[in-house]
């Protein structure tokens, strides 16, 4: 199945009936909920935390990703999934395991059971956080994660690859940099991804005729980047925004990059985090 052609840049013929967005109470989930309103007849939005009430085109479903039966019900009837759910920072193993490891397995098993054929999987640049900042890398290089959170994203990427080869479920494995309305610090001048670029990429992943299971770095068209997406240019996505308007402000506020591990490696402060026990 992996040998299928992925060069067709056409759109699928009809609008989806139902699109699932997990992690809808989080920052990226809220962006997706607002920005993907027209991508399907119905948006099913889900999180373990409280969410805004459902709009006319929405279904709001509370679900813990660690609950296999709940996830099975959640995915039923969904044509595609935009998966932003789970733990999004470095924490102890148990919560990461429940949401990012067991939870992702539950999601892919539900997708297989219900015939859901396409997933946008929000991975992270922390899957490759121990590459150096002076390197430019692409999706062909092996992951070198910078913590338990990054390791959980590597697991999710590999599970997606398994379900592509074994069952034909297509996944965009998107290693998101730093997605905020604007970059917050000097490191983000290189890693920043605008919400607009995130939405444009998500729509492209949902629309392209044939996807496969590519690794894509989620980053805007910044002046300096560590990640090369030329191998996935066939997708037809080009970022439109840049961190450059904030460069002078952030460089004036922060000292130049030093020699501490968080300054040397792409993962920033994550490389210096301990292994949390609880």
42: helix, coil or strand? Answer: strand
Helix H or strand E encompassing 178:
strand 178-179
Rounded to whole angstroms, the Cα distance separating 273 from 74 reads 34
User: Which residues, 6+ apart, have CB-to-CB distance to 20 below 8 Å?
Assistant: 44, 45, 46, 74, 75, 78, 80, 81, 82, 116
With CA atoms as reference, report the closest residue to 69 among 22, 113, 6: 113
The two three-digit tokens of residue 9, written as one number: 């840049």
- Active site residues per annotation: 149
Distance of CA 56 to the CA centre of its chain: 27
The candidate with the shortest Cα–Cα distance to 202, out of 77, 48, 28, 25, is: 28
């Amino acid at each position: 199945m992996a040998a299928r052609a992925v060069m067709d840049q056409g759109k699928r013929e009809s609008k989806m009936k139902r699109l699932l967005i997990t992690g809808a109470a989080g920052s990226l989930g809220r962006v997706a909920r607002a920005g993907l309103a027209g991508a399907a007849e119905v948006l099913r939005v889900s999180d373990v935390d409280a969410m805004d009430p459902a709009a006319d085109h929405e279904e709001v479903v509370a679900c813990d990703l660690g609950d296999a039966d709940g996830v099975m019900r959640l995915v039923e009837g969904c044509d595609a999934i935009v998966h932003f759910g789970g733990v999004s920072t470095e924490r102890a193993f148990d919560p990461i395991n429940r949401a990012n490891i067991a939870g992702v397995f539950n999601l892919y098993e539900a997708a297989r059971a219900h015939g859901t054929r396409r997933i946008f999987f929000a991975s992270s640049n922390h899957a490759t956080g121990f590459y150096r900042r002076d390197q430019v890398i692409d999706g062909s290089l092996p992951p070198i994660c910078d913590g338990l959170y990054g390791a959980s994203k590597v697991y999710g990427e590999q599970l997606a690859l398994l379900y592509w080869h074994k069952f034909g479920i297509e996944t965009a494995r998107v290693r998101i940099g730093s997605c905020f309305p604007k970059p917050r610090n000097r490191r983000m001048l290189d890693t920043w991804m605008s919400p607009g670029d995130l939405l444009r990429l998500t729509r492209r992943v949902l629309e392209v005729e044939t996807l496969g299971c590519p690794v894509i770095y989620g980053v805007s068209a910044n002046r300096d980047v560590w990640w090369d997406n030329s191998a996935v240019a066939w997708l037809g996505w080009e970022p439109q925004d840049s961190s450059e308007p904030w460069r002078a402000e952030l460089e004036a506020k922060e000292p130049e990059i030093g020699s501490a591990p968080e300054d040397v490696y792409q993962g920033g402060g994550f490389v210096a985090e301990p292994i949390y026990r609880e």
